[in-house]
Structure 1
Amino acid sequence: MTIPVKKISTFCKTGSGGTPSRSNNAFFENGTIPWVKSGELKNRYITEVEEYITDLAVEKSSAKLVSKGSLLIAMYGATVGEVSQLTFDATTNQAICNIQPDENVCDVNYLYRFLEASKPYLLSRRVGGGQPNISQGVIKDLKIPLPPLAEQRRIASILDQADELRQKRQQAIEMLDQLLQATFIDMFGDPVSNPKGWSLVKVGEVVDEFIGGKNIECPDESDSDYKILKVSAVTSKVYKPNESKFAPNTFEPNPLAIVEKGDLLFSRANTTELVAATAYVWETPENIVLPDKLWKFSISDESKVNKLYLWDLFKNIEFRNELSKLSSGTSGSMKNISKGKLNELKMPLPPKELQDKFAEFSTKLWGQIKTFQQSSDSLDSLFKSLQNQAFNGTL
């Protein structure tokens, strides 16, 4: 049986929202209508929002009411390409495209899964300079296979179940990470308020150097033995060596910029949310090289500080806030942290024996996390395989 393929625009209503003027207090004060911003499109369902607007704002601005159940796609911003579904009537800002399918033609859960699988394609169609965007036209022109509704629901159900498995595995990993963070606080206290009165030293007193690579234009293919890390290799706080690009054929790296087991990596440049992300290298393939936006900590005297203590210190949310304050850059652009500012930042330095005790616990816990992560990676691969099968008619 031939499965019909249709453009989204032929069976969906689409639109975008707007931002009421903040100079008019009557648009926001005591508002009761949820107003969704593109940065809030992070999960499958939108269940809460940060801001509410008034009836007057809907009447007098470009913000339009969107009905419960509608799908939302971020057209630009940090979450560009992400898809979520409303669990209540709401308005949105202009960076969001709302989609409401004809329920007699397309199951909304099936459409959600299709749009989710289409994110790589959507990202490839971004245009613009400082803040690349996806146009509504690109979204409306997406072509989707439309089997009978019963088949759409079957496919969506299979993908939902597979997604639930991988989400549960990820939640288990997050719980172990939370246990590690709680243990850090129990042993050392808040690193910013420093309630236990540890000695304060400058970061530059324990870290000799922050070593980075060069800005390199990477080809799509190469015969080089080297790979260049992407910044995304550390932004999840877990080192991911597969997040890398080909090095040019003639590339000769600085030996100091090659990533090795035991390195602590730091993103010195990224968006506001991801700058200063830190990841520890438990294992790594050979010939992985740092780019210019990633540094590694060089510490010659490890009698003062344990890298695993440093890692959790730099991951701590309160300390991360202090790190983020060091970044500079205009609104909407890449944020940067200079070595000079980072070296001057004060940090607590507990006794080395206590740091080592924490590092021993951390090593054991990360052994469990690694096992869970391998399972999570397998489930991710399975999910992507099911996505491919779902929309090429073989599931």
Structure 2
Amino acid sequence: MGNEVRKGYKEVRIGPKKLEIPREWKVSTIEDICETYAGGTPRRSNEEYYEGNIPWVKSGELNQNYIDEIEECITQKGLENSSAKWVPSNNVLVAMYGATAGQVGFLRTKATTNQAVLALLPKDNLCQPLFLYQTLSLNMNILVAQRTQGSGQQNLNQTLIREMEIPLPPSEEQKKIATILSSVDKAIEKTDEIIDETKRLKKGLMQELLIKGIDHEEFKEVKIGPKEIKIPIEWELYNLNQICEISGGYAFKSKKFIEDKCDKSYQVIRMGNVKMSFLDINKNPVYLHEDKLSERAYNYLLKKRDILITLTGTVSKRDYGNVVIIEEGDKYLLNQRIGHIQVNDDRVDNRYCYYYLQTKVFRDRFFLDGKGGTGKQENISINDVKNMEIPLPPIKEQKRIAKILSFVENKINKRQEYKESLEQLKKGLMQKLLTGEVRVEC
């Protein structure tokens, strides 16, 4: 009895999966309901083909997103002398290969695409474009996981996508589902705009407060690396090692890592977990059980208020130097290639130090010491960090500055949490609405 199909539903097979969908829904292939075609790339060696006024979408721009602004444009000559093709607005794009294979985008403006992007144009109103975008956002990862081709990269092709099956409700139900999910998308977009605006405010405040201070009229010139800047006359200039203890992480053996957290384990913080002003503990988390830890390993146990900075990235890309502050102590172990900064000096407010390390002045100084490693890798040493300069106001002013910046950062964090709750809401709605588990009234 436990395997009986619910009343009003039928059992179907889509790829390797069995699922129940409403009786009036169909299972259709993309080929049944869409015209599909890929674009092309004009010859890069011909300058006449680029920097025109024809928007040209590349696969890297697809990320389960709405596409309004496009990074690159080609010329009419570039269009005529390549396989690039126009795609009308309000249609779905799918990345077929490269790092974003399987990612979906909804094109909200007329544009052309390169050959790694497949355009899906619904036929004769068989499928609502926004419904198609939402259902592919949910289901494309299944196709990528089950039917990818190529080695090293998860590549798709037009045939695989055209053969992909999706559950398809009647047209009016498609519209209702798309409207509900799109309303959540709009709330996420609006929240993103507020977050970006608040981040710009924080960046401007940091540049002003951490270099010019509060209500100063007299300034003096000091050198940060080779660059001269003006700071308030009452401020002093120190090297970081004069006011902080600075050390590196430990090369924990990856073969001892476990992927499941337990009561007697510590998460190992690796470079991918350290974003700018955000510790992403959900990014490929790994743990070490306390039974596997040597006595020395506990020297790398992070404390509350410790500051971290990443020390390795890509040559000339400035994709490292990310700074975070630890809000909960005795939970994390620090892996190699991350700097560990501990402020144990009464002259210094650790949040002031944390914010200064995010300024353009400090980052310009930081990247001057980048040295080539293996291939395209660039590194900063712990000794380099120790010798970097920091302008230091009196402690009372440091605390005032840190309080202002913390207020703004808290606003960003709250908006980020709200955005994450919206994303979780949408994820749940997609799972229920796009499979017919929950019906909408038409």
Letter in 1 for 2:283: E
Over 3 Å counting, the alpha-carbon distance change for 1:41 and 1:301 in structure 2 is: same
Does 2:309 align with 1:266?
yes
Does 2:65 align with 1:23?
no
CA contact (8 A) 2:50 2:75 kept: yes
Give 5+ residue unaligned stretches, structure 2. 1-21, 213-223
Within a 5 Å distance, the mapping from 1:153-168 to structure 2 comes to 153-168=175-190
Over 3 Å counting, the alpha-carbon distance change for 1:15 and 1:203 in structure 2 is: farther
CA contact (8 A) 2:267 2:285 kept: yes
Q: Which residue of 2 aligns with 1:240?
A: 280
Within a 5 Å distance, the mapping from 1:279-290 to structure 2 comes to 279-283=324-328, 287-290=331-334
- What CA distance in whole angstroms lies between the structure 2 residues aligned with 1:146 and 1:244? 34
Shift of 1:359: 1.6
Choose from 57, 67, 70 the match for 2:88: 67
- What CA distance in whole angstroms lies between the structure 2 residues aligned with 1:34 and 1:288? 46
Does 2:322 align with 1:277?
yes
Shift of 1:215: 5.4
Over 3 Å counting, the alpha-carbon distance change for 1:60 and 1:139 in structure 2 is: same
| Aligned residue pairs, count | 389
Q: Which residue of 1 aligns with 2:135?
A: 114
Q: Which residue of 2 aligns with 1:214?
A: 252
1:223-265 CA-to-partner distances (Å, cap 9, x unmatched) read 5623334645333632233435243666427223334321223
Q: Which residue of 2 aligns with 1:338?
A: 380
Choose from 40, 44, 50 the match for 2:65: 44
Within a 5 Å distance, the mapping from 1:70-81 to structure 2 comes to 70-75=91-96, 81=102
Over 3 Å counting, the alpha-carbon distance change for 1:146 and 1:204 in structure 2 is: farther
Moved more, 319-328 or 17-26: 319-328
Shift of 1:144: 1.8
RMSD of aligned alpha carbons: 3.8
Within a 5 Å distance, the mapping from 1:187-226 to structure 2 comes to 187-189=209-211, 195-197=229-231, 206=244, 208-214=246-252, 216-217=254-255, 218-221=257-260, 225-226=265-266
Letter in 1 for 2:332: I
- What CA distance in whole angstroms lies between the structure 1 residues aligned with 2:143 and 2:180? 24
The DSSP-based 3-state class of the residue aligned with 2:285 is strand
Q: Which residue of 1 aligns with 2:422?
A: 379
Q: Percent identity?
A: 27
Q: Which residue of 1 aligns with 2:221?
A: none
Letter in 1 for 2:87: V
CA contact (8 A) 2:312 2:380 kept: no
- What CA distance in whole angstroms lies between the structure 1 residues aligned with 2:88 and 2:149? 29
Give 5+ residue unaligned stretches, structure 1. none
- What CA distance in whole angstroms lies between the structure 2 residues aligned with 1:52 and 1:360? 44
Choose from 16, 34, 47 the match for 1:12: 34
CA contact (8 A) 1:228 1:244 kept: no
Over 3 Å counting, the alpha-carbon distance change for 1:40 and 1:297 in structure 2 is: same
Q: Which residue of 2 aligns with 1:179?
A: 201
Query: Higher strand fraction: Structure 1 or Structure 2?
Result: 2
- What CA distance in whole angstroms lies between the structure 2 residues aligned with 1:345 and 1:42? 40
Shift of 1:268: 3.6
TM-score normalized with structure 1 length: 0.80
- What CA distance in whole angstroms lies between the structure 1 residues aligned with 2:42 and 2:241? 46
The DSSP-based 3-state class of the residue aligned with 1:196 is strand
Within a 5 Å distance, the mapping from 1:143-162 to structure 2 comes to 143-162=165-184
- What CA distance in whole angstroms lies between the structure 2 residues aligned with 1:141 and 1:8? 6
Moved more, 254-263 or 70-79: 70-79
1:167-219 CA-to-partner distances (Å, cap 9, x unmatched) read 43444444443332222122134989664247766656655223255352545
The DSSP-based 3-state class of the residue aligned with 1:315 is coil
Shift of 1:281: 2.3
